[in-house]
Amino acid sequence: MLKGAIEYAPSTFEERGAAVAFTTPLLSQTRVRRGERSKLEVLIPSLSQGMGIYVVAWKAVPDMVSMTMHDRYLHDLIVKEDACSPHEIRRATLKAARRGLAGPQAAQAARRALEEDEEQSTLTHYLLILAILKAVGLESPEMLKAGIDTDEGQRLTRQLMTRAAESLKMDATLLYSRLADIAAVTAPVGLARSPRPGRLTRGLNDLKAFRDSMTGWANDVPSDAAPVAQFCAEVAQHTIAIGDKVLGDFHRRVEAIGPLMRDWDSEIVRVRAQAGRMAWLLDGWSHITGAWEVAQAEDHHQQAATVNDLFRILPLLPRKESSRDFVEDAKQVKLAHRRSVRMLEDWRTGQMDIDAIRRIEAVKARVP
């Protein structure tokens, strides 16, 4: 059940695992991954002042930790759906929050997020149709005028897409199916010229604001937590640098919709991998940027406590993703600031800290 504390130095994102937005403070942002024989397992950071990580079989978690009702539901849902990727975990998390188990505000935020996903998916689909038509020289002002959600607009679209398929020397059904595939891959990131950036692009922008705010805080606030905040900003910066590069490359490939359709087999694999990489890169950050935004209304003492809490759950880049060994650097920060970076202690008493749960739920209420 419990494999004992291990040194945590993941090589890949998959090995690092996907962050789960649990509301139990001890489990908040713990990571789930596929372990031996593809069984789900969870990584719980040091239950004491130690440096290790505990690897626990996913199914055994409720027996080890007293969980909130939200987390019991989410846990069961993840088992049922065998969810493991950031996308699957996010969907499960939104579904659990929508049931009201993290409070009414989180339920409203989850409903909004799911609606936005739908809208973003429709918008991306529409923009991709326009891109294909433009690529084959079939732009139609009539279609734009009618709008894609009217009968007339849809009739015109079908007509033009059939001609586009002919032009691309492929079957119309195949064109539609590939279009659906690209839309599904692209919607979370968003297209470069989309009027509304995709969820992951917004996440990257939030991370930039977080980096700036953390750097400012580390410089302006005299606190033991200042070097910890500086480290958080550095990890964010490295993530941003990779994210900007991946995003630029992703947008270039999707923009070149003609070549993408022609060299489908190899191109879609690359595009899918880049979208997946964006999701893994930003996994776990939305809670962190949201928690820091919530902390802006609080005093410096509480902000310092938040910095230390965030340090504990910082999504450190795996070894294969960065030349810098962040895991080792984090250890040094922890050693140097042992006094301020304290580990969670409520596992000893089994008591639920309702204030800590409330703070986590407050983040959930604003960050879907």
Q: Which residue from 37, 29, 34 is spatially nearest to 15, judged by alpha carbons?
A: 34
What's the CA gap between 259 and 264, in Å, rounded? 8
Q: Binder to another protein among 59, 125, 202, 300 (CB under 8 A)?
A: 300
Which amino acid is residue 270, in one-letter code?
Answer: R
- Give the nearer residue to another protein in terms of CB position, either 68 or 194: 68
What's the CA gap between 8 and 52, in Å, rounded? 7
| CA distances in angstroms from 136 to 132, 169, 350, listed in the order given | 6, 11, 64
Q: Binder to another protein among 301, 320, 338, 342 (CB under 8 A)?
A: 301
- Closest approach of another protein to the CB of residue 68, in Å: 6
What's the CA gap between 175 and 313, in Å, rounded? 43
- Closest approach of another protein to the CB of residue 73, in Å: 7
- Give the nearer residue to another protein in terms of CB position, either 16 or 364: 364
- Give the nearer residue to another protein in terms of CB position, either 252 or 301: 301
Which residue shows structure tokens 């304290």? Answer: 342
Q: Binder to another protein among 50, 100, 216, 259 (CB under 8 A)?
A: 100
Region near another protein per CB under 8 A, out of 6-14, 102-110, 210-218, 338-346: 102-110
| CA distances in angstroms from 351 to 24, 45, 102, 217, listed in the order given | 11, 18, 18, 32
What's the CA gap between 257 and 102, in Å, rounded? 41
**Is residue 154 involved in binding another protein (CB under 8 A)?**
no
Q: Which residue from 125, 128, 130 is spatially nearest to 144, judged by alpha carbons?
A: 130
Q: Binder to another protein among 80, 169, 339, 348 (CB under 8 A)?
A: 80
Q: Binder to another protein among 4, 195, 299, 348 (CB under 8 A)?
A: 299
Give the max Cα distance, the chain: 69
- Closest approach of another protein to the CB of residue 223, in Å: 10
Neighbouring CB atoms inside 10 A of 38's CB total 8
- Closest approach of another protein to the CB of residue 81, in Å: 10
Binding to another protein by CB under 8 A, coded x per residue (else -) over 49-68, reads: -----------------xxx
Q: Binder to another protein among 57, 114, 352, 356 (CB under 8 A)?
A: 352
Q: Binder to another protein among 34, 59, 99, 253 (CB under 8 A)?
A: 99
Region near another protein per CB under 8 A, out of 275-283, 322-330, 331-339, 352-360: 352-360
Number of residues this chain uses to bind another protein (CB under 8 A): 24
Q: Binder to another protein among 40, 43, 101, 135 (CB under 8 A)?
A: 101
Residue 198 φ/ψ, nearest 5 degrees: -70, 170
Beta strands in 58-212 (DSSP E): none
Binding to another protein by CB under 8 A, coded x per residue (else -) over 258-297, reads: ----------------------------------------
Which residue shows structure tokens 């989309």? Answer: 194
What's the CA gap between 110 and 321, in Å, rounded? 31
First to last CA, the chain: 32
Site for another protein in 106-135 (CB under 8 A): 107-108
Q: Which residue from 122, 160, 128 is spatially nearest to 257, judged by alpha carbons?
A: 128
- Give the nearer residue to another protein in terms of CB position, either 71 or 117: 71
Neighbouring CB atoms inside 10 A of 233's CB total 20
Residue 276 contacts residue 354 (beta carbons within 8 Å): no
- Closest approach of another protein to the CB of residue 301, in Å: 6
Residues binding another protein (CB under 8 A): 66-69, 72-73, 76-77, 79-80, 99-101, 103-105, 107-108, 299-301, 352, 354, 358
